[in-house]
């Protein structure tokens, strides 16, 4: 097959805010210090009984937001997004004026607006317009709403649109709230874990929900990148299972094909992959499906970790948040443990990372899978300036 | 070979149109009744249809009519690229109402994501292909053209079934078009604006 070699596109750097920290650096420090964003929450606005979740302190959010120079009114989610974007907005101020696109990845956006019967705030396009204006990005914002793969798929979409020649750079944002809307839905599914979720563990019993905002700057101009370490997006694919709208394929077909396509585009063998930052929701079926797909893709010996044991499932933010965290660890040649994993709970012998380990990192695989049969795999390659 | 629009299907104002041909017309203004009548007319024979939320019903109906009228088999490497404004607002409002009344229904909750419509089309047509759902303020032909061309040029797909699937209560407009490496209508902004 003679494919034209596409232009290289890079993940320059990322930022995030989560209940574990108001900056990426703080999140990394707190993960190393074995702290978690997941706590026992007693809040009748969400549920009658206490539950485990990763919920941001809204008072602190408002305080932090007041330090920014914005005058207009913003919702909680918009404040999270703008606070997370502040550093990147300032660092890449000039690039933002130069054929820069904006992708917002969110499953439910300002969903709490429905509780207040505020239908105009519900529309994701309104949220996107507001953020685009605040960040002074002139191009029409793009909202990606593709369930739990949205966050990582957004990086893939940015890469493709840059390669099309229509854009030079992208600000990619992933954000979702902890909402009663989603929590009660998963409760009705009996899919909420009684304890902080335990991906890949024998006793795993479901997901823990969280909220976060993550941001990344994606560009084709190496020279514009301020970080010494950055990552080339070398392969990406999103293949549907065509199997079930709310359950993963038992054979992991869509995820397997996504990984294979990404490997083919990157022109690498499985052997080259240093580690996998997986989806790992801690539902019985998802984790088992991933084990099938990774094994079929000959990645069964590669260290795998899920970050959901610390951040919970942050839905449309998850894929991006997990990428930003993973690549920051990769800068330091660190593979984190798959948090809360104790006893192997899969029918296949996957190499679940059990501790922080140092390893020379070159190529990293990020995957996600979600409702609607969606799957995404993206391969990153480390570069130094 | 250039990629062009080989076929399209539109469902709007009680009409179902395939490639300029009016296949079905119904004066019924209530969307749920209209789509049920259309389901019977086109003999979809897909029982899962009744469980779906309005967005999925509209997307599945449109794609089914389009695919059923193709003279050649749909390429298994046909990507799906859907866009709209209102996400899945009808089922979201229904789910919100259930929560306010005290209990959420799992059968509704599973449909509270717009990309479920991609899953339903994929399942019905056994399409294991590139899938994505985007939201814009209004129909965005430039984006659809750029992303479609990129999918085909990079060989991530051989063909793309793309379009706009918008529904909020009884206000609906669905235009899906098939882009293939064949002669057809040029994949241009003005052509798409004429179709919508």
Per-block average pLDDT, block size 10, for chain B (196 residues)?
96 97 96 98 96 98 98 97 98 97 95 98 98 98 98 98 97 98 97 96
Return the CATH architecture of domain B4-195: 3-Layer(aba) Sandwich (3.40)
Asked if the interface predicted TM-score (ipTM) of this complex is over 0.95, the answer is yes
Where residue A288 sits, what CATH number does that domain have? 3.40.47.10
Encode pLDDT of A72-113 as tens digits: 999 999 999 999 999 999 999 999 999 999 999 999 999 999
Q: Closest partner residue to B96 among A115, A239, A374, by Cβ?
A: A115
Residues from chain B contacting residue A159 (CB–CB below 8 Å): none
Could you tell me which chain B residue has the CA closest to the CA of A123?
B86
SS (H, E, C) chain B: CCCEEEEEEEEECCEEEECCEEEEECCCCCHHHHHHHHHHHCCCCCHHHHHCCHHHHHHHHHHHHHHHCCCCCCCCCEEEEEEECCCCHHHHHHHHHHHHHCCCCHHHHCCCCCCHHHHHHHHHHCCCCEEEEEECCCCCHHHHHHHHHHHHHCCCCCEEEEEEEEEECCEEEEEEEEEECCCCEECCHHHHHHHC
Angstroms from B67 CA to nearest CA on chain A? 16
> Are the beta carbons of A111 and B104 separated by less than 8 Å?
no
Sheet strands (E) in A278-385: 304-305, 334-335, 357-358, 363-370, 374-384
Pure H helices in chain A? 24-32, 58-66, 76-91, 119-122, 124-134, 150-163, 180-188, 253-266, 284-296, 308-311, 318-331
- Residue A1: the pLDDT is 42
Q: Give the span between the Cα atoms of A174 and A172, in whole angstroms.
A: 7
Residues from chain B contacting residue A237 (CB–CB below 8 Å): 130, 156
Could you tell me which chain A residue has the CA closest to the CA of B122?
A242
Tokens coding A106: 């969110």
> Are the beta carbons of A240 and B87 separated by less than 8 Å?
no
Q: Is residue A235 located within the same domain as residue A370? A: yes
> Are the beta carbons of A374 and B136 separated by less than 8 Å?
no
- Residue B1: the pLDDT is 82
Of A277, A363, A10, A260, nearest in space to B156 by CA: A260
Structural domain total, chain A: 2
Angstroms from B104 CA to nearest CA on chain A? 6
**In chain A, residues 227-256 whose CB comes closer than 8 Å to chain B:** 237-246, 253-254
Across chain B, mean pLDDT equals: 97
> Are the beta carbons of A185 and B109 separated by less than 8 Å?
yes
| DSSP-derived pairing of the beta strands A51-54 and B4-12 | unpaired
> Are the beta carbons of B122 and A373 separated by less than 8 Å?
yes
Q: Give the span between the Cα atoms of A326 and A331, in whole angstroms.
A: 9
> Are the beta carbons of B127 and A240 separated by less than 8 Å?
yes
Tokens coding A137: 């990005």
Residues from chain B contacting residue A154 (CB–CB below 8 Å): none
Is A115 in CB contact (< 8 Å) with chain B?
yes
N- to C-terminal Cα separation, chain A: 32
Q: Closest partner residue to B135 among A124, A239, A244, by Cβ?
A: A124
Evaluate whether residue A265 is within a structural domain.
yes
Residue for token pair 């009228």: B69
Q: Is residue A83 located within the same domain as residue A203? A: yes
Q: Give the span between the Cα atoms of B94 and A17, in whole angstroms.
A: 31
Which of A199-232 are b and which e, b meaning 16 or more Cβ less than 10 Å from the residue's Cβ? bbbeebbbbbbbbbbbbbbbbbeeebbebebbbb
Tell me how crowded residue A72 is: count the other CB atoms within 10 A of its CB: 8
Q: Give the span between the Cα atoms of A230 and A252, in whole angstroms.
A: 30
Measured CA to CA in angstroms, residue A383 lies from A48, A159, A319, B171 at distances of 49, 17, 21, 50
Angstroms from B28 CA to nearest CA on chain A? 26
**In chain B, residues 162-181 whose CB comes closer than 8 Å to chain A:** none
> Are the beta carbons of A373 and B103 separated by less than 8 Å?
no
What does the radius of gyration of chain B's CA atoms come to, in whole angstroms?
A: 16
Tokens coding A176: 């979702």
Could you tell me which chain B residue has the CA closest to the CA of A146?
B115
Q: Is residue A102 located within the same domain as residue A236? A: no
Residues from chain B contacting residue A114 (CB–CB below 8 Å): 92-93, 96
pLDDT at A2 over 50: no
Residues from chain A contacting residue B103 (CB–CB below 8 Å): 188
pLDDT at A5 over 90: no
Q: Is residue A99 located within the same domain as residue A134? A: yes
Q: Is residue A196 located within the same domain as residue A259? A: no
Of A208, A190, A206, nearest in space to A345 by CA: A206
Q: Closest partner residue to B113 among A126, A244, A371, by Cβ?
A: A371
Q: Is residue A320 located within the same domain as residue A199? A: no
Evaluate whether residue A362 is within a structural domain.
yes
Residues from chain A contacting residue B149 (CB–CB below 8 Å): 164
Average pLDDT score over residue span A219-224:
96
Tokens coding A75: 């919702």
Tell which of A224, A239, A258 closes a domain: A224
Q: Is residue A190 located within the same domain as residue A272? A: no
Tell which of A188, A204, A224 closes a domain: A224
pLDDT at A385 over 90: no
Q: Where does residue A280 fall: left (phi above 0), alpha (psi -120 to 50 degrees), or beta otherwise?
A: left
Angstroms from A49 CA to nearest CA on chain B? 14
Q: Give the span between the Cα atoms of A262 and A341, in whole angstroms.
A: 28
Encode pLDDT of A161-214 as tens digits: 999 999 999 999 999 999 999 999 999 999 999 999 999 999 999 999 999 999
Of A244, A189, A245, A198, nearest in space to A346 by CA: A198
> In this complex, how many residue pairs, one in chain A and one in chain B, have their CB atoms less than 8 Å apart?
160
**In chain B, residues 133-152 whose CB comes closer than 8 Å to chain A:** 133-137, 140, 143, 146-147, 149-151
Q: Give the span between the Cα atoms of B115 and A155, in whole angstroms.
A: 18
Confidence of residue A4 (pLDDT cuts 50, 70, 90): low
Residues 6+ apart with CB under 8 A from A118: none
Across chain A, mean pLDDT equals: 96
Residues from chain A contacting residue B96 (CB–CB below 8 Å): 114-115, 181
Q: Is residue A174 located within the same domain as residue A213? A: yes
Is A147 in CB contact (< 8 Å) with chain B?
yes
Q: Is residue A286 located within the same domain as residue A359? A: yes
DSSP A246: S
Residues from chain B contacting residue A157 (CB–CB below 8 Å): 132, 147
Evaluate whether residue A5 is within a structural domain.
no
Residue for token pair 């995404």: A376
Is B77 in CB contact (< 8 Å) with chain A?
no
> Are the beta carbons of B104 and A147 separated by less than 8 Å?
no
- Residue B52: the pLDDT is 98
Encode pLDDT of A257-294 as tens digits: 999 999 999 999 999 999 999 999 999 999 999 999 99
| DSSP-derived pairing of the beta strands A142-144 and A51-54 | unpaired
Residue for token pair 């539950």: A51
Q: Which domain holds residue A326?
A: 229-384
- Residue B74: the pLDDT is 97
Which of B97-115 are b and which e, b meaning 16 or more Cβ less than 10 Å from the residue's Cβ? ebbeeeebeeebbbbbbbb
Evaluate whether residue A155 is within a structural domain.
yes
Tell which of A224, A246, A265 closes a domain: A224
> Are the beta carbons of A189 and B109 separated by less than 8 Å?
yes
Could you tell me which chain B residue has the CA closest to the CA of A241?
B128
Q: Percent of chain A at pLDDT above 70?
A: 99
């Amino acid at each position: 097959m003679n494919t034209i070699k596409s232009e290289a596109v890079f993940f320059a750097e990322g930022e995030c805010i989560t209940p574990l920290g108001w900056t990426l650096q703080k999140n990394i420090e707190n993960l190393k210090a074995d702290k978690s964003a997941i706590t026992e929450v007693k809040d009748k606005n969400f549920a009658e009984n206490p539950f485990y979740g990763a919920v941001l302190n809204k008072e602190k959010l408002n305080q932090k937001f007041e330090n920014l120079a914005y005058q207009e009114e913003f919702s909680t989610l918009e404040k999270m997004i703008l606070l997370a974007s502040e550093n990147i907005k300032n660092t890449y101020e000039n690039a933002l004026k130069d054929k820069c696109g904006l992708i917002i990845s969110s499953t439910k956006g300002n969903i709490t607006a429905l509780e207040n019967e505020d239908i105009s705030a519900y529309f994701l396009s309104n949220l996107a317009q507001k953020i685009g204006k605040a960040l002074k990005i002139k191009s029409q914002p793009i909202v990606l709403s593709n369930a739990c793969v949205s966050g990582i798929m957004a990086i893939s979409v940015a890469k493709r649109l840059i390669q099309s020649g229509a854009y030079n750079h992208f600000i990619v944002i992933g954000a979702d709230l902890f909402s009663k809307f989603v929590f009660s839905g998963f409760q009705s599914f009996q899919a909420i874990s009684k304890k902080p979720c335990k991906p890949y563990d024998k006793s795993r019993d479901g997901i823990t929900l969280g909220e976060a905002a993550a941001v990344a700057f994606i560009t084709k101009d190496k020279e514009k990148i301020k970080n010494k370490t950055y990552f080339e997006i070398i392969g990406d694919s999103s293949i549907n299972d065509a199997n079930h709208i709310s359950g993963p394929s038992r054979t992991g077909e869509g995820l397997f094909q996504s990984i294979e396509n990404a490997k083919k585009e990157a022109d690498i063998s499985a052997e080259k992959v240093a580690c996998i930052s997986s989806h790992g929701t801690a539902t019985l079926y998802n984790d088992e499906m991933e084990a099938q797909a990774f094994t079929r893709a000959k990645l069964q010996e590669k260290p795998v970790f899920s970050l959901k044991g610390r951040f919970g499932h942050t839905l449309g933010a998850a894929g991006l948040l997990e990428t930003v965290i993973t690549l920051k660890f990769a800068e330091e040649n660190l593979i984190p443990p798959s948090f809360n994993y104790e006893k192997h709970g899969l029918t296949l012998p996957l190499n679940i990372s059990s501790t922080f380990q140092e390893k020379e990192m070159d190529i990293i695989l990020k995957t996600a899978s979600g409702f609607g049969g969606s799957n995404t795999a993206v391969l990153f390659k480390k570069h130094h300036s | 070979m250039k990629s062009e629009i080989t076929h399209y299907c539109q469902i709007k104002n009680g009409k179902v149109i395939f490639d300029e041909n009016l296949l079905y017309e119904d004066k019924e203004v209530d969307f749920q009744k209209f789509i049920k009548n259309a389901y019977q007319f086109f003999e979809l024979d897909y029982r899962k249809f009744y469980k779906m939320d309005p967005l999925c019903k509209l997307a599945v109906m449109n794609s089914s009519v389009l695919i059923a009228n193709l003279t050649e088999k749909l390429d298994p490497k046909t990507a799906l690229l859907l866009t709209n404004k209102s996400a899945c607002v009808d089922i979201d409002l229904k789910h919100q109402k259930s929560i306010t009344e005290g209990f959420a229904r799992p059968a509704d909750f599973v449909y509270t994501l717009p990309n479920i419509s991609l899953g339903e089309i994929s399942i019905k047509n056994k399409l294991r292909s590139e899938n994505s759902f985007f939201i814009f303020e209004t129909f965005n032909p430039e984006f659809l053209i750029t992303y479609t061309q990129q999918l085909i040029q990079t060989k991530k797909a051989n063909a793309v079934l793309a379009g706009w699937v918008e529904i909020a209560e009884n206000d609906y407009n669905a235009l899906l078009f098939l882009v293939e490496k064949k002669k057809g209508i040029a994949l241009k902004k003005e052509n798409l604006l004429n179709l919508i």
